[in-house]
Amino acid sequence: MIPYARQNISQSDIDAVIAVLKSDFLTQGPAVPAFEQAVAEYCRAKHGVAVNSATSALHVAYLALGLGPGDILWTSPNTFVASANCGLYCGAKVDFVDIDPETLNMSVSALQEKLELAEIRGCLPKVVVPVHFAGQSCQMREIKMLSQRYGFKIIEDASHAIGGKYLGKPVGCCEYSDITVFSFHAVKIMTTGEGGMAMTNDLALAEKMQLFRSHGITRDFPPLKKGGRGDLWYYEQITLGHNYRMTDIQAALGLSQLKRLDEFVACRRRLATRYTKEFKEASVKMQCQHENTDPAWHLYVIRVRERDRVFAALREKGIGVNVHYIPVHTQPYYQKLGFKWGNFPQAESYYQEAMTLPLYVGLNEEQQESVIANCRDYTS
């Protein structure tokens, strides 16, 4: 079986993890802050807050922005459920903005129309979460302009997009957002096994996210605070937080992987370029790449008629195609909240035809040729 995704682990990665296993710290040691600093420098952001998953990163980001009961969060229906679920964890109401049928990202025009209506109704969102689907940045400049007019905060869900660029700058620099979130899950562009990171240029937000990831506990206060307590063991819980810490083992793997991130992205771009060239005349539709973006290519998605038939045939041939994503609002849990089929027609139409092709570092020319040939056979 040719999988749709696979991690790439080198001897250097293994050596980095072994070094931590032999060290004095498996968790809460020097590797995590070193990883945070390295990713921040790569993205040209001021702060990185490492956590044990991108879901945790989203949750602490929402909490840091003060999202809570009575607030509203909007995101894309074309995403993994975590983008929306974390808003519910905070007690907020969640809603969605339909996608652009070409880029498959949040539609700026749909966002503007929904904001205009929400302003009239007095129910504007506190936070909007554009999702950089498949590794291509949303049109963040335009979304930022809307935020300045309507007063919402922005979190970029860039779980697919580390290594990508927007308007010539790294995704994660936070020029057009308050916080950007990355995923380091095993099938992502680079991995820590499980893990995530939230980037920000706001020190106050970084400090809040650090608190929320570790039980709301801090040791960062003057030595003479609280009646002269200066003991090294002293700490205080100042808010209700969670156990979302990343381990030094994960961070060591991340530091090693980060050294090859540009290599990983370059390989993905070569594979994606070949797919695009080979399918140019085929009866499939590909995700449009906006001129302002330089995607990281976490996924390569096509749209095909009779998707279910083609999917089954390709799996039978040993090609591990997948589907990203079933629209969040159509999941049974969200239908219980009042959403239904027909709410976001562009996302639903895309889903009916969506199929993700194998794309990963290590996919060789012969394997990719097999994917291409079989796709042509079953989509012609």
DSSP state for residue 24 in the 8-state scheme: S
Asked whether the predicted pLDDT for residue 233 surpasses 80, the reply is no
Here the CATH number for the domain that contains residue 105 is: 3.40.640.10
Q: What number is the average pLDDT over the span 80-101?
A: 98
Q: What CA–CA distance (Å, rounded) separates 180 from 177?
A: 7
State phi, psi for 163 to the nearest 5 degrees. Answer: 95, -10
Q: Is residue 1 part of a domain?
A: no
Q: How many CA atoms lie within 13 A of 379 on its CB side?
A: 23
Q: Is residue 189 part of a domain?
A: yes
Same domain, 194 and 269: no
State phi, psi for 358 to the nearest 5 degrees. Answer: -55, 130
In sequence order, the 6+-apart residues with CB closer than 8 A to the CB of 66 are: 126
CB 293 within 8 A of CB 136: yes
Same domain, 178 and 99: yes
CA angle 240, 244, 250 (to 5 degrees): 160
Give residue for tokens 């629209």: 327
Same domain, 39 and 186: yes
Give residue for tokens 């963040």: 140
pLDDT range class, residue 332, cuts 50, 70, 90? very high
Same domain, 166 and 73: yes
Can you spell out the DSSP letters for 258-277?
HTTHHHHHHHHHHHHHHHHH
pLDDT (tens digit per residue) in 358-370 = 999 999 999 999 9
Q: Is residue 25 part of a domain?
A: yes
pLDDT > 90: percent of the chain: 93
Asked whether the predicted pLDDT for residue 223 surpasses 70, the reply is no
pLDDT range class, residue 225, cuts 50, 70, 90? low
Query: Where is the domain boundary, 260, 287, 322?
Result: 260
pLDDT range class, residue 222, cuts 50, 70, 90? low
pLDDT range class, residue 81, cuts 50, 70, 90? very high
Asked whether the predicted pLDDT for residue 228 surpasses 70, the reply is no
Q: Which helix (H) or strand (E) holds 301?
A: strand 300-303
Same domain, 256 and 271: no
Beta strand 127-129 with 72-75 is parallel
Same domain, 189 and 85: yes
Q: How many domains does the chain have?
A: 2
Q: Which pLDDT score, from 0 to 100, does residue 315 have?
A: 98
Q: What number is the average pLDDT over the span 163-186?
A: 98
**54-64 and 82-89 helices cross at what angle (nearest 10)?**
40
Same domain, 35 and 170: yes
Same domain, 274 and 236: no
Q: What number is the average pLDDT over the span 39-63?
A: 98
Q: What number is the average pLDDT over the span 70-98?
A: 98
Q: What number is the average pLDDT over the span 27-52?
A: 97
Asked whether the predicted pLDDT for residue 229 surpasses 70, the reply is no
Asked whether the predicted pLDDT for residue 203 surpasses 80, the reply is yes
Q: Which pLDDT score, from 0 to 100, does residue 283 have?
A: 86
For residue 234, the enclosing domain spans 11-260
Residue 181 in 3-state DSSP? Answer: strand
Q: Which helix (H) or strand (E) holds 202?
A: none
CA angle 91, 95, 98 (to 5 degrees): 155
Mean pLDDT of the chain: 96
Same domain, 226 and 91: yes
Same domain, 254 and 352: no
Nearest of 199, 242, 210, 236 to residue 221 by alpha carbon? 236
State pTM to two decimals: 0.96
pLDDT range class, residue 321, cuts 50, 70, 90? very high
